Amino acid sequence: MFNDNLLRTLSRIRADEAQRGRRPQTIEGPIQRRESQDAPLTIRHAVATDLSALERLAALDSRRLPSGELFLAEVAGRLLAAVSVDTGAIIADPFEHTAAIVDVLRLHASAVLPAAPRRAIAVGAQAAATS
């Protein structure tokens, strides 16, 4: 039976090498675990130069690239998740623990959306009911 960490590492290496156009190579020696848990989380708007990283992330998550304005979450310069401010659609690296990161992204996305306007009809109906 394979260790999940080993499979994640192998998958990440193959995806990175495929993106660079290289053939996958065998791993010799012990696999070193990245210490990304201590690295700071960076939330920022997506720019045009992020397109290839976003496409790779969407492919890893087996989803389409979300439309509209996007917020990205990076740890140690590596894109882990993205959220569409307009639609709320999420893509995230399925080989990383991203649940908390996705929650932070959703919070940031909801903070930039304008508040829904209050309905004038409800205010008029309430005034008529009290008189």
Give the tens place of pLDDT for each residue, 16-67.
766 776 554 554 444 444 445 678 899 999 999 999 999 999 999 999 999 9
Read off the tokens for 126. 């309430």
Please give the residue that has the higher pLDDT: either 105 or 32. 105
Which pLDDT score is estimated for 124? 54
- The predicted model gives 112-131 an average pLDDT of 60
CA dist 111 and 103 (Å) reads 12
Task: Report whether 12 contacts 24 (CB < 8 A).
Answer: no
Domain extents in the chain: 39-112
Total Cβ atoms within 10 A of residue 75:
20
Beta strand pairing call for 78-84 and 41-45: unpaired
The hierarchical CATH code for the domain 39-112 is: 3.40.630.30
Residue percentage of the chain with pLDDT more than 70: 61
- 83 and 90 in contact (C-beta within 8 Å)? yes
The pLDDT, as a whole number, for residue 21 is 64
